[in-house]
Amino acid sequence: MATPAALLGHGGRLGAARTAWPNAPTPWLDLSTGINPCPYPVPALAPETWSRLPDPESLGALEQAAAAAFGVEDPSRVVATAGSEAVIRLLPRLLAAQRVAISAQTYGGHAEAWRIVGAQIVAPGDPTADLRVLVNPNNPSGRVLPRDQVLDLTDGPLLVDEAFVDVDPALSVASLAGAPGHERLLVLRSFGKFYGLAGARLGFLVAEPALAARARQALGDWPVSGPAIAVGLAAYADPAWATQTRLRLIEDTVQMDGLLRRAGFEIAGGTTLFRLTRAADAPRRFEGLAQAGILTRPFPWDETLIRFGLPGRELDWRRLANALESL
């Protein structure tokens, strides 16, 4: 069958998968996103976390903890948002860009957000662009641009989406974003992917203080939920968990690549949160996995590609291994 359109736009669309393959074994194993399947443990939440309006002091403490984790000296440059998608949709209303350079083979939310406001999407190298968007590491290719090459691109306004950079924080330019001499550099950080808590909706914009202030104004006084503030505060204050997770993700990736190669996939790229594979008969393989209740991520621009997120539980690893063997 043809892949449902809903599954070509974003990962995580289990509802659409259930509709398309009603007879697949349940529960579905969702490998269609790049979200860490072994999440940061949600701490016990005080009842006030739910009941009270989040206090500006708590929000400020979260922004400080995130700034420290990102290496940003001045926390006023760090704006907490309800997920990086919220700020991706907001930026076209704050920046005056008309011609935005975005690769066609990256996270689709950027182009979508700019198209909504009528901006034109141009090719990454286009000299007429008045804003360049770079996803680094890129999703889904995993292509990584070294820091100095990222900074070379700031001859004009540059938005760097670092949604997956927590797996390799040395790559991040967040510490410079909006700092004196780097006013044209904006960085987005995502909480949910590396910390495995995408449902919490937490992300950050790092930008020069005046733009950060405008973003705060546009988002209002309570941009992030009390539960998300509490879990973000705990997570960013726990560098040991982050270090351990980075190492585990590397080990899991090695294991994953072994499984995928044995099943005849070529590893075309990825980060330690997802693997991009290529196979001439990828549509057949995607379909076979879906019939086994395993959702992966196809891409509209190249039907030989499939992106795999990592399984978490031992059970899920075995289920994937079995399904890959039966393809």
For its own copies, the binding residues (CB under 8 A) are: 6, 10-15, 30, 33, 35, 37, 39, 42, 47-58, 82-83, 85-86, 88-89, 93, 109, 113, 116, 192, 196-201, 217-228, 231
- In the complex, minimum distance from the CB of residue 280 to its own copies, in angstroms, rounded to a whole number: 30
Q: For residues 69 and 91, which CB has a smaller minimum distance to its own copies in the complex? A: 91
- In the complex, minimum distance from the CB of residue 36 to its own copies, in angstroms, rounded to a whole number: 9
- In the complex, minimum distance from the CB of residue 138 to its own copies, in angstroms, rounded to a whole number: 19
Record the tokens describing residue 299, joined without a space. Answer: 């891409």
Rounded to whole angstroms, the Cα distance separating 63 from 74 reads 10
Record the tokens describing residue 127, joined without a space. Answer: 């000299």
Q: For residues 37 and 75, which CB has a smaller minimum distance to its own copies in the complex? A: 37
Task: Fill in the DSSP letter of residue 121.
Answer: E
E strands, the chain, are: 29-30, 78-81, 99-101, 120-122, 131-135, 158-161, 185-190, 203-206, 266-271, 274-278, 294-295, 297-298, 305-309
- Calculate ∠ Cα 161-66-138, nearest 5°: 20
Rounded to whole angstroms, the Cα distance separating 270 from 258 reads 14
- In the complex, minimum distance from the CB of residue 307 to its own copies, in angstroms, rounded to a whole number: 15
Q: For residues 82 and 144, which CB has a smaller minimum distance to its own copies in the complex? A: 82
Q: For residues 179 and 218, which CB has a smaller minimum distance to its own copies in the complex? A: 218
Q: For residues 154 and 190, which CB has a smaller minimum distance to its own copies in the complex? A: 190
CB-based contact 213:56 (threshold 8 Å): no
Q: For residues 157 and 192, which CB has a smaller minimum distance to its own copies in the complex? A: 192
- In the complex, minimum distance from the CB of residue 173 to its own copies, in angstroms, rounded to a whole number: 24
Rounded to whole angstroms, the Cα distance separating 266 from 48 reads 50
36: Cα within 13 Å, side-chain hemisphere: 27
- In the complex, minimum distance from the CB of residue 264 to its own copies, in angstroms, rounded to a whole number: 29
Question: CB under 8 Å to 118, separation ≥6 — which residues?
Answer: none
